[in-house]
Structure 1
Amino acid sequence: MSVIVVSGTGTEIGKTVVTAGLVALAAGLRVAVVKPAQTGVAEGEPGDLAEVRRLGGPAHGLELARFPEPLAPATAARRAGRTAPGAEEIADRVAALAGEYDLVLVEGAGGLLVRFDDRGTTLADVARLLAAPVLVVAPAGLGTLNAVALTGEALRARGVDQLGVVVGSWPAAPDLAARCNLLDLPEVAGAPLLGAVPEGAGRLSPADFRARAPRWFAPRLGGTWDATAFTGAARPEPLVAAEAVGALAR
């Protein structure tokens, strides 16, 4: 895979940290990271690309547009009186980089169907034009199954391959919903679970982040994370079994 599109089921769920982890796993390769539209960051301030390279390591970065308000790219561009890049322009720039680099990562803004321009083109359109797989980053807790299922349906409807799902911030003390979701995510996504990044990973030192990253991602992404072992360790005790044990104790 020379191009991987990284999308989320929403905002602030760990896309940038996951992208940085993929850069860390690709150490030794020529890697480029594309941010089609950076919103909510003023000119001159460090954006997502800076964070990806700080944590993940050396990579060529390309930011196609930046808008100061934390809004969908199309909305932020309209309010700024500017034109945002559409799917065709983004795909052309990514395809050019794919001819020069071993791996190109495209980090979206928000969810899969967030509008990039006034024509309504989205990250899903970019992936379709590139024939590139999409890695979906999802939160751990309650509500994530619906968002992951909708994202998977949207990808299939467009003929876009879903590479898999990564939990963007796995809690140190996962609740019942998070632990149950590990079992259900592959089924509702229609794609494998390919990793779980621990909460707070973005606060690690760059050296620690790069050293630990392989443990967060499955071999398909270049890591050593074992979905079966991880899911088994987090599996909650069935309620029926728990009730039976309680009845016997009484």
Structure 2
Amino acid sequence: MSGIFITGTSSNVGKTVITTCLTYAFQRRQVNAVPYKPVQCGAITDGAEWLAPDVELYRKVYTSKDNEQLNSFLYEPRFSPHLAARLANNPIDPQVIKRNYHALQETHDLVLVEGAGGLAVPLIDEQYGTPELIIELDIPIIIVTHATVGTLNATTLTAHYAQSKGLNIKGIIINGYPDNPTEGIKHNPAMIEKVTGIPVIGIVPQVENVEARIGEEEVLEELIRGIDLDKLYG
């Protein structure tokens, strides 16, 4: 296996934090891992330059090499990719994504591909979305979900949708797990496994201002402590 696709139950569930953490964790294990964001909506600016904010977070743990494409399509509005691409008159081309993915694959042990939004997001139209891209890349997925109320429903729906598309799910990572969880939150990991039939391979703690602090080694160590890397890359 040379690639893993990181998807989530929704936007803002913490896919970028998890992708950054996994990049750090695998590198720490001497696995030459690289993060890759094929499609980014919600560009930020640095002077006249547009930047992909998720890639900028990756850079806190990963130094890219010359000519490495860590992002293929970048759009200014934070809209669904198919709409952002249409408004920009710059359609998403899966062949470009596949070329960039394979280029990274040739020079790294593992490519960590982060999706845009949730799993059911369309990339071109109703016929071609994130699942179709994953099938073309021929890689397994992990599902990132949140720890709080609603996670059972969101995680189960995402898992069943992925299975209906024939995707290979390696496991589920619960992000933002609080220091003092309620009884309901404590119950969620075991019940997620029961209702989906998929293992929870990581419970990542809630860290205040995590994106600002993710470059700190002690924060990274705290975040990755509860992830079973062997179940992802054995």
Q: Same fold (TM over 0.5)?
A: yes
Query: Which of 35, 40, 45 in structure 1 is aligned with 2:37?
Result: 35
Match of 2:59 in 1: 53
Kindly indicate whether residue 206 of structure 2 is the aligned counterpart of residue 199 of structure 1.
yes
Match of 1:189 in 2: 196
Q: Please, which runs of 5 or more residues in structure 1 have no aligned partner?
A: 224-250
Distance 1:2 1:120 in 2: 27
- Shift of the 95–57 alpha-carbon distance from structure 1 to 2, 3 Å rule, reads closer
- Shift of the 165–157 alpha-carbon distance from structure 1 to 2, 3 Å rule, reads same
Identical aligned residues as a percent: 29
- Shift of the 130–62 alpha-carbon distance from structure 1 to 2, 3 Å rule, reads same
Q: CA deviation at 1:142?
A: 1.4
Q: CA deviation at 1:144?
A: 1.2
Structure with the larger strand share: 2
Look up the SS of the partner of 1:99 in the other structure: helix
Counterparts in 2 of 1:64-75, with a 5 A limit?
A: 64-75=72-83
Give the 4+ runs in structure 1 shifted more than 4 A: none
Q: CA deviation at 1:124?
A: 1.4
Match of 2:93 in 1: 85
Q: CA deviation at 1:213?
A: 4.0
Distance 1:63 1:219 in 2: 25
- Shift of the 16–169 alpha-carbon distance from structure 1 to 2, 3 Å rule, reads same
Aligned AA for 1:212? E
Match of 2:23 in 1: 23
Distance 1:161 1:113 in 2: 15
Aligned AA for 2:5? V
TM-score if structure 1 supplies the norm length?
A: 0.80
Kindly indicate whether residue 167 of structure 2 is the aligned counterpart of residue 163 of structure 1.
no
Look up the SS of the partner of 1:129 in the other structure: helix
CA contact (8 A) 1:148 1:188 kept: no
- Shift of the 57–89 alpha-carbon distance from structure 1 to 2, 3 Å rule, reads closer
Q: Please, which runs of 5 or more residues in structure 2 have no aligned partner?
A: none
Q: CA deviation at 1:121?
A: 1.8
TM-score if structure 2 supplies the norm length?
A: 0.85
Q: CA deviation at 1:18?
A: 0.4
Distance 2:232 2:119 in 1: 24
Tell me which moved more, 23-32 or 103-112.
23-32
Match of 1:148 in 2: 155
Distance 1:85 1:178 in 2: 40
Structure with the larger helix share: 1
Query: Which of 126, 136, 160 in structure 2 is aligned with 1:129?
Result: 136
Could you say which structure has the larger radius of gyration?
A: 1
- Shift of the 193–207 alpha-carbon distance from structure 1 to 2, 3 Å rule, reads same
Matched positions, count: 221
Distance 1:211 1:61 in 2: 27
CA contact (8 A) 1:64 1:85 kept: no
Q: CA deviation at 1:76?
A: 1.1
CA contact (8 A) 1:40 1:71 kept: yes
Aligned AA for 1:81? N
